Each structure stands twice: as structure tokens, then as C-alpha cells.
Amino acid sequence: MSLIKLETLYSKDSVEIYKKHGEYNVLVNSKPKPDWIYTREIGEQKIQYLPAERVEFLLDAIFKSWRVEVKNIQTIANSVVVTIRLYYLHPVTGSYEFQDGIGAAPIIVNKGAAPTDFSAVQSMSVTKAAPAAETEAIKDAAHKIGRIFGRNLNRRDVVEYEAIEQRIEANLKREKLKEINDLLKDNQDSEEVESIRAMINAKIDSKEDTLNFYDNIIKELKNDK
């Protein structure tokens, strides 16, 4: 595999693709909607989670097309354990990617029986446990896609992708402003120079100075040369 060339990295098409990847990463690593987060108690711990219907809603909304392949089903102690592979259509690349997940659900036995006493297994318990384990496996796989699926709900060390994206965009804007200033130095029309600077300042003040806005100015200035 050859290393990408710098001119290819900075080409217009590449920048647009990387920008779309950046927007995608910000989306899937956004915080989940607070109203969707549930809490359950496990021993003395309170665990936050997204219910399955919310995870599936997000998969539908972000990827349009996704599917699950069950890789393995087994019984460990008194639980059904399911391993799956979650395939999803990446909205930027247009190709299918996948994440693996594992989930478990207990096999319920009659009250007072030992958890591993399979002679005391309740009717329909295994039938219910297998789909429940698959659902947990789907959620586990989705967690690996991004924070919006509940990946970091119980973690303390969380990377704020939105802040990172904002810093990257701010650096790109500074580079484009420098290029514009360099082009304006060669412009002999002082009125046009002042008009362009005033327009840029107005866009900055209103926070409407998008990367496309700067690109259009650069394009116009280069065409005028």
C-alpha cells in the first residue's frame, strides 16, 4: 500500500470527502438524546443504557440499510449467549461496513431452584432468552459505531468529537483567510478590497463564514487575476 501524496490529500475532492467523514464522525459521536436514556440497577451500580427500539431507530435513520448475521448461539452456565455481525451501509463511502457484538440473557428457572438446574427451566424461557440475547448483541455492536448509540454512557473519559471538529474547521478557515489576504495584496482596486474585507467581517460577526464562503471568494479572486 503506497502512502497518499500531499497534493492528493489537499485536493478539492479529497477535502470534501474528508469533510463529509468529519461530519459523519461528529454525528455518530454526538451525545444521545437525554430523554432516550434509561437507568437500571445492577447490584449497587446504576447503569445507563439506550433501549433497543431507540438503537434500531438510529440505525434506520443514519444508515437506511442495515442487517444482522447471527454468527453463534451457545449456552454458558444459565445464560444464552449470542454473537452477531451488524452490517450497515456507510452514508459517506456507500459501502457496507460491520461491527461484531455479543449479548447474553438468562434462562429463567423455577423459584428456589439452582440457576444451573435445567430440569427446573421455565416453559418458553429459552425461546425468550435467545432473542433477548440477540437484541443485546445488536446494541453491543452498535455501541462500537459511535457515542450516539450509547457507547460512552457509563464512561468518564469521553472525547468531545464536536469540539475537535470545530478546532479543525477553525484552522481551515484561518488558512483560507491567509490565502485571501495574500490574493488581496495583489489587488489594485482598493474599493473592491475594502468591500471584500467588510463582507468577510460581516459573515464572521454573524457566524455565517462557512468554508464554502471562503472557497467562493478565493475562486473569484483567482479568476480575476
Query: pLDDT grade, residue 2 (50/70/90)?
Result: very low
Asked, for residue 74, whether it belongs to a domain, the answer is yes
Examine the domain organization and report whether 121 and 188 are in the same domain. no
| 9 located within any domain | no
pLDDT beyond 60 at 112: yes
Q: Do 44 and 92 lie in a common domain?
A: yes
- Is pLDDT above 50 for 128? yes
User: Percentage of residues in the chain with pLDDT exceeding 70?
Assistant: 81
Q: How confident is the model at residue 93 (pLDDT cuts 50, 70, 90)?
A: confident
Is 135 inside any structural domain? yes
Domain count, the chain: 2
Show Cβ contacts of residue 47 under 8 Å, excluding neighbours closer than 6 positions: 39, 40, 41, 154
In the listed set 149, 169, 194, which residue is the last one of a domain according to the structure? 149
Could you tell me if residue 178 is inside a domain?
Answer: yes
Residues 145 and 43 in one domain: yes
Cα separations in angstroms, 94 against 26, 89, 198: 18, 6, 41
CB count in 10 Å sphere of residue 134: 21
Task: Look up the domain containing 166 and give its range.
Answer: 161-224
Task: Indicate whether 105 and 201 sit together in one domain.
Answer: no
CATH code for position 91: 3.30.390
**Is the residue at 208 inside a domain?**
yes
Q: What is the pLDDT of residue 225?
A: 63
What SS3 class is residue 218? helix
Q: Using the predicted structure, report yes or no on whether residue 166 has a pLDDT greater than 80.
A: no
d(Cα 100, Cα 86) in Å, to the nearest integer?
6
One domain, residues 71 and 44: yes
- Same-domain pairing of 37 and 112: yes
pLDDT of residue 10: 45
Whether the pLDDT of residue 9 is over 60: the answer is no
